[in-house]
Amino acid sequence: MNIDTLLTTTRSVRRKLDLDRPVEPELLAECLRTAQQAPFAGAFVESFRWLVVTDQETKEQLAHLIRAGGEKSQAEYGHLVSPRTLASGRHLLAVLERIPVYVIACMHGRPGGDNATQTAFYGSAYPAVWSLQLALRARGLGSTIIGYHLGEHESDTARILGIPDDVTQVAMLAIGYTTTDKFHPAPRPPLAEITYYNRWGATEQPVVSS
Ligand SMILES: Cc1cc2nc3c(=O)[nH]c(=O)nc-3n(C[C@H](O)[C@H](O)[C@H](O)COP(=O)(O)O)c2cc1C
């Protein structure tokens, strides 16, 4: 797949996950290894961990917490997303127990300090999360980030998974093969509306003479 196609068509997949097809552990490991090549802030290079969950009983326990957080979040903030995204989120909540694999990206420690420190902390996990989503897509799998449970149920989730108190769950991914390969670029604001040049608010692109 062309790299720009990969970058522009890797969507959050919820309704088109194949819930009946298992994900081969070796294939997932290949994707995780690839994603490890993502950038980290230097001080945090040793802090990152993946936690892979495939055990059915554990997934059922997680589903309970995610659903509780998700229903609350959708009731409070559902009006802020498109009806399509909300319907997709609701579908996800309905099938949580059947998701083939969950992967949780964790960081040792708790974010604190100023913006630079917090940015370095979370920013050392998200490039790897996105790289994992791309690596999966390149192999016919799809994923979506789930953050619903992190508001009120992070510690309950930690208890189920044996995650120590000083480890932060940054993002959970629901993963499976996709039932289609037809994914398209999503609507986004025009570049000219969100890009400034040399000064905040200046939308006119400077002419560069060669
Ligand atoms: C930090 C972050 C948290 C997210 N949390 C959730 C979530 O809890 N549930 C969910 O269904 N999608 C979640 N998503 C996925 C977004 O809903 C998704 O990216 C958005 O609908 C745009 O769709 P697209 O990724 O296909 O462009 C999250 C994405 C990010 C980056």
83: Cβ–Cβ under 8 A, 6 or more apart, which residues?
none
Domain count for the chain: 1
| Closest protein CA for atom 30 of ligand 1 | 145
Q: What is the pLDDT of residue 43?
A: 85
Q: Is residue 195 part of a domain?
A: no
Is 115 inside a domain boundary? yes
Structure letter (DSSP) for residue 190: -
Q: Which segments of the chain does DSSP mark as H helices, in order? A: 3-9, 25-35, 56-77, 83-94, 115-122, 126-137, 154-161, 191-194
DSSP 73-120: HHHHHGGGS-HHHHHHHHHHHHTGGG-SEEEEEEEES---SSHHHHHH
Q: Whose CA is nearest to atom 20 of ligand 1?
A: 12
Q: Atom 14 of ligand 1 has which residue's CA nearest to it?
A: 145
| Residue with the two structure tokens 């791309």 | 134
Residue 208, pLDDT score: 87
Residue 84, domain extent: 11-182
Cβ neighbours for 210, distance < 8 A, ≥ 6 positions apart: none
CATH (domain of 84) = 3.40.109.10
SS3 of 38, please? coil
**Residue 198 C-alpha to ligand 1 middle, in angstroms?**
31
Q: Is residue 197 domain-resident? A: no
pLDDT at 75: 95
pLDDT tens for each residue of 140-166 = 999 999 999 999 999 999 999 999 999
Give the pLDDT confidence score for residue 67 in this predicted structure: 98
Radius of gyration of the chain (CA): 19
Per-residue pLDDT of the chain (210 residues; tens, 9 = 90+): 899 999 999 999 999 999 999 999 999 999 999 999 999 998 898 999 999 999 999 999 999 999 999 999 999 999 999 999 999 999 999 999 999 999 999 999 999 899 999 999 999 999 999 999 999 999 999 999 999 999 999 999 999 999 999 999 999 999 999 999 999 999 999 999 999 999 999 999 899 887
Dist CA 200 CA 206 (whole Å): 14
| Residue pointed to by tokens 């009120």 | 152
From CA 24, how far away is CA 110, in angstroms rounded?
Answer: 33
Flag whether 191 is in a domain.
no
Give the integer Cα–Cα distance in Å for 81 and 103.
25
**What residue has token string 């980030």?**
145
Alpha-carbon 187 to chain mean position? 19
Output the pLDDT for position 145.
98
Question: Which ligand 1 atom sits nearest the alpha carbon of residue 89?
Answer: 11
Q: What does the pLDDT read at residue 31? A: 98
